[in-house]
Structure 1
Amino acid sequence: MIAKEPTRIGEAGYLVAECELQDVACAKCDNVIGLMCLSSPVNHALHDSQILLRKTIIVFLKKNGKPVELNVRHTLKLLNDSRPGSYPANDHFNPDSVVSQFDSAVSRIEKEMAKLNSTLGQLQSDFDLHKAYLKSVKIEVSSGEFSTQNSFKLSRLESQVRTANAAISEMKKLSEEVNRENVVLRNDPLLSREDYKQLENVTLGLQADVAKSNATVKNILDMNIGSAKETASLRIELRQLRQMMDQDRKKKVDLSKQQIPLRELDILTSNMTKIEARASQVKTLQMEFDLFKSRIQRLEASAEHLSQPRENYNSLQFSNPRARPHLAHRTIPIQ
């Protein structure tokens, strides 16, 4: 008896609900004979490493050919099989159940995609708000009659925000294309068993990538909130500096009295130090954007794998006059 990949989670409403399952097959004929429960929830009817056999008559042999007695804990009653005896020996495969399981997997993907789209929309609004803050700060800095190193760093941060906006738009296009592919696959009743297994593997990979993307987006949102607070603080400090300069220009005194007092000089030095410290956080934001870009590229690669089983299936069904033309999957790279 050998285990066959991949593992999956049991469907709700069944005995194996919320259990991590894996098919087991005969080592000689490679026919699936049952399921193995790798792990089960607390207080579950099944135990870890417990095997559920689908066949009523199975003989287990040792390497020397001697039979092995099994410890049968429960015997479940199944519905009588009314199919004719001329059906193939591979009677454990039910196309209706495969299509039903695939529909549930696609539904879970659509829910994850909807959550991702909602998160991306929130991220887009946060970026727009942050961009408006930067624009107002830039106007105030340009209106003040002094020059600092902060203008260059603010323009750099603004360019990074534009790059992130472009990445978000590309991500939305990719999500729409994946959703269209899922709709086409759900409407296709001629999926074979191998196609179903390959699509299930791709589904698990997409779910993992979506979870990682959600975590990355959450981190970026947290960083954007902190950046917005720092930008507001920076605006207040710049307004104070501007008021101080306006007060100095209104004072028509001698050159000796126009020098900046020691206390105001300390305030200016402290504010410049804070501005430099906050500007250094732009590097951290750049690293987060690079990480987000790599997640998007991984999701593109997973989407390309999603289109491969579809291409193989169309090539097999090319001679069938009822076969549909292949829907090309277009992937847009992110610069």
Structure 2
Amino acid sequence: MATLNSRWTVPLAIAIVVCIVGLNVNPYLQFMLSRILIYILLSLGLNVLMGYTGLLSFAHAALFGIGAYVTGLLQIRVGLPFIPSCLVAALVTMAIGMVFALPALRMSGIYLAISTIALEQAVHWIMLNWTSMTFGASGFRAPTFTLGTGLSAAQSSFIVALVVCLVAYVSIGSLMTTSFGRRFVAVRDNQVAAASMGVNVTQTKAIAFAISACCAGIAGGLFSSMLGFVAPESFNLDQMILMQIMIVVGGLGTMGGSILGVVVVILMQEFLRDSPGMLEVVFGVLLLGCVLFMPRGMASFLSDARNRRKRRMVADFPRNGERVVNVDSGGSNA
């Protein structure tokens, strides 16, 4: 219980600070914070799949889009409120994610990546061409929602995104410290060795896809409400590449990397939004720098630097025993 409480303490404190700041800034900064939170949720799910389980997938943008479309269409066509629609979207996306997991049961590496790219393109084609259901390339206006008590739609979306991110971060972080969570890492490191130790590799892969898809589905629902508009161009392969950059820069297989990478990439996008050609160059240089100098991402690099500093401080700290020997020997160094 003490470990669980300590695991909640720091994220909860940070979330309270972010909430206070987010509710007292202008609408533009509030929108940026909501967008960062949504992409953190996406990155957390994708990191479970790629960072912890080692499954190279390019279908996350499609799952993101399915969550947004299901949430928006349920509100428009069925009249469900936002929260039930988002929960249904999470379940639908999780079920589709399990279907996406089928290629992963027999394939890995580049073959799995190619098959998930095909699935991504198939979903995007449906979004574009099933006009009677998805409204085609023009998209549709998604309803917004409010939590009441005088909060605006933007503030409501921000609060819900913050709460969901907090719960997802603590839950996934806690899961990865359990014996069950370590199965993902075992499958990533060596599937044959994991199977020989009694790990059900097929089940572990399917669960990783399910967790990743659930995060993407909820993020899609939040995205539709935050933006107030859903269109296929928001969920194309470019979005998938952006998500990959976020977790690679932040750090594969690290919880902090899911946050740090999102913040760095979205801030770069914002600072360079008037120079689209320059943005690709900066992203390329950033990825190259991470591969050469920070192969485990910025989060691991900062953690290693902190640990090295602690070791130097411990090594430089004078030992009491040595001081006593020096005094007894007349001040001479031993």
TM-score normalized by structure 2? Answer: 0.26
Q: Which has the larger radius of gyration?
A: 1
- Structure having the higher strand fraction is 1
- The answer to which structure has the higher helix fraction is 2
Q: TM-score, normalised by structure 1?
A: 0.26
By relative contact order (CA 8 Å, sep 6+), the higher-ranking structure is: 2
